[in-house]
Amino acid sequence: SDEWWRSAVVYQVYPRSFADSNGDGIGDLPGITAKLPYLRDLGIDAVWLSPFYPSPQADGGYDVADYRDVHPMYGTLTDAERLIGTAHDLGLRVFIDIVPNHTSDEHPWFQQALAAGPGSPERARYWFVDSDGGPPNNWPSEFGGPAWTQVPDGQWYLHLFDRKQPDLNWENPEVREMFLDTLRFWLDRGVDGFRIDVAHHLIKADGLPDFEGDWDDYVAGCLPTNTAPFADQDRVHEIYRDWRALLDSYPGERAMVAEAWVTPHERLAAYVRSDEFQQAFNFDFLRAAWDATDLRAQIAATLDANSAVGAPTTWVLSNHDVIRHATRLVRANPATAPWVLEAGEPTPDYATGLRRARAATTLMLALPGSAYLYQGEELGLPEVIDLPAHIRQDPAFVRADGQLLGRDGCRVPLPWEKHEVAFGFSPADKSWLPQPEVFGELAVDQQIGQPDSTLELYRTLLRVRRERELGSGALSLVDLGDDIVAVDVATSIGTTLVVVNLGDADWPIPADARVLVATCPDVSDRLPTDHAVWMA
Ligand code: GLO
């Protein structure tokens, strides 16, 4: 087995916002298929598709009404098969998103549960509980308010997310069977891997006891996650061992990656034992400030924890849940939850943000392990901050009464061609979220072939990463001063020295160094502030 996933670069596609083929202003599967050659040329190994299933879209499709079909606005099952086949022909693997913690309230199971009433086997697939005088416990929903909603007959049901996302009861064997069948369904259609949504939430502590900790500390990752009775419970691992056994019964090393917001590192490492997930997202870079000490500490801690279990490390700078890193890395108040901006926060300076984003990516793509990219970061897209309130859809915005701007700002449709309608996103002059003017300058056709562009930087980084086998190298931190993050990556090709300058002064580049890639054009003898370089 070649364990291809160990060093894979995976590109996340948010289907609603990638490319629209039929002119309704909403991206779709044929749109993605048509752009697969672009992704092959970028130099990635695999594509991960966020949910494209039938769904009322209360949470961007993370509210699934049918796990084995395609939402008509995205196309058909045949389109999904065509996408997978085309990707394989181009040498790309395909991951899809599985959302097992909850269904949509419009899933037939939940509708049957409502109709069947208290005590029924239909209700036993979810968490329906009797309680007089308020919710059964104090658990909060991730999107604000209590995690419980009452139905007309008096029972309450649990939803760790939106009230349109009722939590499944994973103690129920029918639930376990349904997901094994769903995985088989997609494995049979050639899918190479699964990204498992909130993989740490499936098992709830016996008796559903109150949460005793502080919610803000929990969200900030300062508490051991399993101190919450709804997260990282030990028995969750049983489920993933069953899944891994199923994946291993298929040819071609099918993989799964856990989205598990679990601290400390040692507990997250438990998800990547050899009979469970191949990978778990490491979200440290999402929480890290633009600070050399912080970045070095995160890298060291991650490597320690993962080397103990022999699992590859993963690195993530952006995804569909967090502020784009070209904006996040200059945010005035990085101490607050990193995934949403607060209403009225000052708009971060884009030029500085873009410099830092390019430097951060240059660091990330040199680090051994697997890297995850989010659509549009290769264009240097900023978070779109000034979307009108009536257009924002994200429940994180809606349930916070607009106090938090939510996650729509990183989900604005991609610009492909500056001079086309909708910047080439759609054949019609339509885009489900309005694209700001700056997207025109950042469009793919403006960057391709421009040596100083962010797109060409990504292409070069990915090519050199492959040539020098950095993804499977041995990494050590190098001390070049307090404001410098420096690492050595040793492979059979040689040693690559990566330097990121977070200080105010230029860093002098040694005379005998051979520059392989740099984030600024002229680095013959000095590396300016907020820039990064790979040297041999
Ligand atoms: C992150 C998911 C997110 C969903 C949530 C509920 O946590 O990626 O987008 O809102 O998981 O399914």
* pLDDT 10s digits, 235-254: 999 999 999 999 999 999 99
Residue-level pLDDT at 337: 65
Please tell me the distance between residue 198's alpha carbon and the centre of ligand 1 in angstroms.
7
On whether the CB atoms of residues 135 and 146 are closer than 8 A, the answer is yes
ipTM above 0.90, yes or no: yes
Q: ∠401-402-405 over CA atoms, to 5°?
A: 140
Q: Where do the DSSP E strands lie in 295-439?
A: 314-316, 370-374
Pocket of ligand 1 (CB under 6 A): 59, 62, 99, 161, 197-198, 259, 320-321
Active site residues per annotation: 197, 259
C-alpha span between 390 and 395 (Å, rounded):
13
Q: Is residue 355 exposed (0-12), middle (13-18) or buried (19+ Cβ within 10 Å)?
A: buried
Residue-level pLDDT at 292: 96
For the chain, the distance separating the N- and C-terminal CA atoms, rounded to the nearest angstrom, is 31
* Most informative mutation of 55, 62, 63 for ligand 1 (most atoms within 8 A of CB): 62
Classify 265 in phi/psi space as left (phi over 0), alpha (psi -120 to 50) or beta.
Answer: alpha
pLDDT band per the 50, 70, 90 thresholds, residue 423: very high
Of 47-51, 219-223, 258-262, 288-292, the range with the lowest mean pLDDT is 219-223
Please tell me the distance between residue 94's alpha carbon and the centre of ligand 1 in angstroms.
20
Question: Three-class SS of residue 117?
Answer: coil
**Using only C-alpha atoms, what is the Rg of the chain?**
23
Nearest protein CA to atom 6 of ligand 1, as residue: 62
Residue-level pLDDT at 358: 98
Placement of tokens 């904006």 in the chain: 327
Please tell me the distance between residue 185's alpha carbon and the centre of ligand 1 in angstroms.
22
Q: What pLDDT, in 10s, does the model give residues 57-108?
A: 999 999 999 999 999 999 999 999 999 999 999 999 999 999 999 999 999 9
Q: Where do the DSSP E strands lie in 125-254?
A: 128-129, 148-150, 156-158, 193-196
Residue-level pLDDT at 335: 57
Residue-level pLDDT at 272: 94
Question: Three-class SS of residue 82?
Answer: helix
> Of residues 308 and 465, which shows the higher confidence score?
465
- Average pLDDT (213-233) is 92
Residue-level pLDDT at 398: 86
Nearest protein CA to atom 4 of ligand 1, as residue: 62
Nearest protein CA to atom 2 of ligand 1, as residue: 197
pLDDT surpassing 70 at residue 336: no
Of 11-25, 259-273, 408-422, the range with the lowest mean pLDDT is 259-273
Residue 227: phi and psi, rounded to 5, are: -70, -15
pLDDT band per the 50, 70, 90 thresholds, residue 397: confident
CA distances from 310 to 232, 270, 279, 462 (A): 21, 11, 11, 24
User: Which atom in ligand 1 lies closest to the alpha carbon of residue 101?
Assistant: 12
Residue-level pLDDT at 311: 79
**Sheet with 46-49: strands ordered across:** 279-280, 255-258, 193-196, 93-98, 46-49, 9-13, 370-374, 314-316
* Domains of the chain by start residue, with CATH: 4-103+172-460 (3.20.20.80), 108-158 (3.90.400.10), 472-535 (2.60.40.1180)
